[in-house]
Each structure stands twice: as structure tokens, then as C-alpha cells.
Amino acid sequence: MGDEKKSKQRDGSMVFESMYPLLALMLILVACVDLCDAATVVDVYRLVQYDISGVPFGSRFSSLNHHAASLSFQRGADLSRSVLILPLRELDLGFLQDYISQKQSLGGLLILLPQTLRPGNNIVLSETQGFRKLLAQLENLLVHANIPFPVYFAFENEETDAMLVDVKKNDALGQQATATTGGYKLVISVSEPRKIASPTITNIQGWLPGSRAEGDSNQLPTIAIVASYDTFGAAPALSVGSDSNGSGVVALLEVARLFSTLYSNPKTRGRYNLLFALTSGGPYNYEGTQKWLKSLDQRMRESIDYAICLNSVGSWDNELLVHVSKPPDNAYIKQIFEGFSNVAEDLGFQVALKHKKINISNSRVAWEHEQFSRLRVTAATLSELSTPPELLESAGSLSDTRQLVHEDAIIKGVKLVAESLARHIYGHQKKDIKIFADDSSLAVNPFNVRSWLDLLSQTPRVAPFLSKSEPLITALKKELEDYTAEVSVQHESLDGIFTFYDSTKASLNIYQVASVTFDLLLLLVLGSYLIVLFSFLVITTRGVDDLISLFRRPPSRKVKMV
């Protein structure tokens, strides 16, 4: 009797042990049912987050975990738990402006950009001027608003296109994606943004000393050539600023190369010192230029005859503008403009003079040369732009990419600056002399222009996100060391009114999830199958009676009272 009881217990134990793998399989399937269709990872770029004097701007959050929605959703729908996907080509700026201004709740915003806007992309740009204007308006809206939800940019590809088609179809049918209905879930798992501690701006200076006449102890006059190299845009990780001001940096480096050749020979070294400066902080009121000027020795600053600032010279056809602060009838301004005009006429294009008086009581400056003017140094800005950019605008926008910049335009700008400087230095004004002729050893090098333009067009340069040992800063310093002497680097703290936050780039995980209804149906089918399989195993091993006994309540035992 005891052996029979032990045999039954052993058989029952074997039945239950045989169920362990099946139970484990069921648990695994339940855990994975929501993630079984996870597939795509996309690089995304977060909208800038910053404060000015404690006032917040930009996107204030970074993590995402919501279902996808499109503009095809029914008006009035609750999008507080949805990520709105907006292709730039279909952008309704008015809708977005109303949504932000009315502070309506949104789980997140994903803006899809065409591949032609990807930095370093060599695809021919097909977007119209109106399209670029729309993009500029979008950036202006996002950069100057306080947005209480995550905003990201991504580039269109086959996966995002296919997802958007499905999302639009469901939204048009009124089937907004939720945990119940299924759809696409967008997930970005990152820590919340942190303040960047003590952001720095870095200036790089190179010097070409002139030649004194024998017995002359007077300090030589100096001409400064300056360009700001950093950028600012809606997405810091995409802000390459090919034209503003990559083109100005390229032009300065090539002018430095040309004069290094002239000044390397004592016989052709001019009686002017040449000072080359690559400044940072351009989008922030040209703060780097201001601090660099104030750091100069007073005698050095007073020796500056005039300064030429280069800003956006890579996208023009037949005219460049010379912006000045001093009146046009000022003797120095006349001399600078006449020099440019004579060379431009010889080269087959035009320059025009634009005067804008500065307001000393206002710390805001419109152009880089105004920082010189405030210190009573004659200066001018050479640019294709007719009006100055506003603070934190037009300094590396999403549309300012390599395809918009023309190497020929930069080369013409280099020739204009180099020839006018040379004629002034060597006393050849009003003479039709081409010192930097195309067929000479002093010709502009198109390969150098193209190489540096390509590099800058692939390198985001938003100052607060650049370290002191940034490879680009090192490369610029080395380039100036090849052409000039006494190269120095100056690190300064960015003005305390600006506060920036990290987390500029992330990975977006796109999951295609089934609805809860489908999940429950799948679990029901799976559970039924396991019950049938379990019953079959019990019946085949012990019979129907044992199966029934498993579900029968055991009889209670009564305790005899003594």
C-alpha cells in the first residue's frame, strides 16, 4: 500500500516537472509579445535648450516613450501621450505655431528633414528658396519658444517613410495609436539634460610681421583680417554653417596662405604687420571678438590701421557689400571702399557700401566690425548679407549646408581682399596690377578652398559644446601656424547670461506593437493549447481519474479531541 502511494506521488511529480519548460515558454512569450516587432533605430538630433538671464528657451525635455501620430489625426484629439511626426515638406507652420503659443500638451515632436540637408551630403539640393525660408521660420519659432516637451529632428529614410504611411492611414480612420489599438511606439531612453558647466569660447590669432626700413624705430601699422568660426542653430549637432561663417573662415585661411608666401621673402615683405584672428562667440553678440580685442596690448590695438571682417561670402553672384559704422565720407572708409571698388571692377563684379551707425549705449552689436568701432578702431565687414542677423539667428541654420556654398564665390572674395590689401600695402592703388594672378605662383588654390569648405561643412561648431582640445580648433591652429608666426590661442568664459544644456543627439527606437486585443487573443490561444497539452500528458500517463483528482478539493481532516 505504501509503495503504491509513493508510485503515484512519483508519477504526479513527473507530470508537473514535464510542465516546467512549457510554463517557462509561456512566461517568455508573454514578456516579449509587445516587443516582437521592434526593428528600427534612427539617429535623432534634439532641439537646442538654453537660458538667457534665467529665461528658458528651446526644448526642456529629452526622453520619449509614446505612440506615433501624424497631422491626419482628428482635430481635438488628445496628443499628450503621442509623438507628432511632421515631415518638413508637409509642415503646417501655422498649426505648429498655434499649438506652441497656446501651450497645448504634446508627448513629443519629431520633424523629418530631407536627406539633402544632411551635413556632408553631396546630393544636389532641389529645395526652393521658399522651402528654405519656411525652414528658417520654423527654426526661429522653435529656438525662441519655451517648449515643455521633447523636440527632435531626423532625416527621412525608408523606415520612417513606411512608418509615416501606416500612421497616417490609421489616424485618417480615427484609429489613433494607443496601448489598446497598437501602432508604432517611439522610445528615446536618455537622462534628462544637464547644464554645461563653464562653457568656453576660443580665439586663435596669427601674426605676420612687416619689414621696417633700416634705422626706422617707429612701430609698423597693422591690418587685421578677422572671421568668426562658430555657429548656432536649432539643432546644435547639425549646425555646420557652411556659409555663415564657414565661407569667411575659408577665405581668411587662404588670404593668410597667400600673404605668407609674399612675406616669406624679405624683398616682398610689406611695411605693414598682418594680424589674422579666428574668433568664437559670433552668435552671442561677437563676444569672442570683444574679449580678444580687449586682451590685445594697447600699443598693438592702437597700431591697427583698419580691420576687415569676413562674414558669409560663399553664396553670392555679382555684388558684395561693405558694411561700416563710420560715415561714408570718413577718409579711412573712403580709402577702404575705393580699394575694394577698384579691384572688384578689375575682377568683373561690384561692391556697395552700407552704413549703419552704432548706438554706444546699447551693448548689442549687429556686425563683427562694430566691436572694433566701439574701441575707435576703423573696421568694415565684407558680406553678401544686406541686413545683419538677429541675436542667435542666421548663424548656422539647418539649411546652411555645403550645397548652397559656391567655391567660385569664395575664390572671388579671396581675390578681392588679397588684391586690395596688397595694393594698399605696396602703394599700387588705382593701378591695374594683379599680384595674385591665376597663372602665377601666388594664385588662389581651389583645392585648399574646397578641402576646408568640405571639412567645415561636416563639423558642427556651436561654441558651448566645443572643448578646449576640440580637433577642429587644433586643426585651425595648425593651419595658421603653417602660414603665420606667433600663433596663440585664447580661452575665455562665455557670458554668464547664457546657459546651455547637453544631450544634443540620441538614438530613436521605433517599435511596431500589436494591440492589447491581439495580445489577449494570443495569450488565450496559447493558454488553451497548454491546458490541452497538460491534460493529454496526465491522461496518457495516469488516466482520467488522476486528472479529475488534480482539480478535486482534498477532504478535510478532523482532529479527534481527547
Query: In this model, does residue 315 exceed pLDDT 60?
Result: yes
Average pLDDT for residues 491-497, to the nearest whole number?
89
Q: Which of 336-350, 426-440, 504-518 has the highest mean pLDDT?
A: 336-350
SS3 106: coil
Our measurement of the distance from residue 188's CA atom to the centroid of its chain's CA atoms, rounded to an integer in Å, reads 18
- Round to whole Å and give the CA distance between 488 and 207: 9
Query: In this model, does residue 35 exceed pLDDT 60?
Result: no
Burial of residue 330, with CB atoms counted within 10 A of its CB: 0-12 exposed, 13-18 middle, 19 or more buried: middle
Phi-psi region of 376 (alpha: psi -120 to 50; beta: other; left: phi over 0): left
- Round to whole Å and give the CA distance between 397 and 87: 17
Burial of residue 116, with CB atoms counted within 10 A of its CB: 0-12 exposed, 13-18 middle, 19 or more buried: middle
Per the listing, cell 596690377 goes with 433
Determine the residue type at 404: L
- pLDDT for the residue 7: 52
Phi-psi region of 513 (alpha: psi -120 to 50; beta: other; left: phi over 0): beta
Burial of residue 520, with CB atoms counted within 10 A of its CB: 0-12 exposed, 13-18 middle, 19 or more buried: exposed
pLDDT, averaged across the chain: 85
Query: In this model, does residue 309 exceed pLDDT 50?
Result: yes
Eight-class DSSP state of 482: H
Average pLDDT for residues 483-511, to the nearest whole number?
93
How many Cβ atoms are within 10 Å of 536's Cβ, its own excluded?
11
Eight-class DSSP state of 403: G
Give the model's confidence band at 75: pLDDT under 50 very low, under 70 low, under 90 confident, else very high. Answer: low
- pLDDT for the residue 34: 45
Which of the two residues, 550 and 460, has the higher pLDDT score?
Answer: 460
Query: In this model, does residue 79 exceed pLDDT 90?
Result: no
Query: In this model, does residue 206 exceed pLDDT 80?
Result: yes
Q: Are strands 38-46 and 304-311 parallel, antiparallel or unpaired?
A: unpaired
- pLDDT-above-70 percentage for the chain: 81
Q: Are strands 146-147 and 55-59 parallel, antiparallel or unpaired?
A: parallel
Average pLDDT for residues 214-225, to the nearest whole number?
80
How many Cβ atoms are within 10 Å of 74's Cβ, its own excluded?
10
Q: Which of 30-44, 91-105, 263-277 has the highest mean pLDDT?
A: 263-277
Model pTM?
0.84
Give the model's confidence band at 394: pLDDT under 50 very low, under 70 low, under 90 confident, else very high. Answer: confident
Asked if residues 380 and 315 have their Cβ atoms less than 8 Å apart, the reply is no
Average pLDDT for residues 341-359, to the nearest whole number?
94
Burial of residue 519, with CB atoms counted within 10 A of its CB: 0-12 exposed, 13-18 middle, 19 or more buried: middle
- pLDDT for the residue 164: 92
Task: Supply 501's cell numbers.
Answer: 544644456
Query: In this model, does residue 39 exceed pLDDT 80?
Result: no
- pLDDT for the residue 36: 45
Q: Comparing 45-59, 168-182, 213-227, 462-476, which segment has the lowest mean pLDDT?
A: 168-182
Please choose, from the candidates 14, 21, 33, 17, the residue with its C-alpha nearest in 3D space to the C-alpha of residue 514.
33
Strand ranges across the sheet with 498-500: 146-147, 55-59, 49-52, 498-500
Query: In this model, does residue 375 exceed pLDDT 60?
Result: yes
Average pLDDT for residues 105-125, to the nearest whole number?
84
Give the model's confidence band at 450: pLDDT under 50 very low, under 70 low, under 90 confident, else very high. Answer: very high
SS3 510: strand
Q: Taking the C-alpha atoms of 211, 212, 213 and 216 in order, what is their torsion angle to the nearest 10 degrees?
A: 180
Query: In this model, does residue 16 exceed pLDDT 50?
Result: no
* Three-point CA angle 433, 434, 436, nearest 5°: 150
- pLDDT for the residue 99: 84
Residue 180: partners with Cβ closer than 8 Å, 6 or more residues away? 515, 516, 517
- pLDDT for the residue 103: 81
Give the model's confidence band at 362: pLDDT under 50 very low, under 70 low, under 90 confident, else very high. Answer: confident
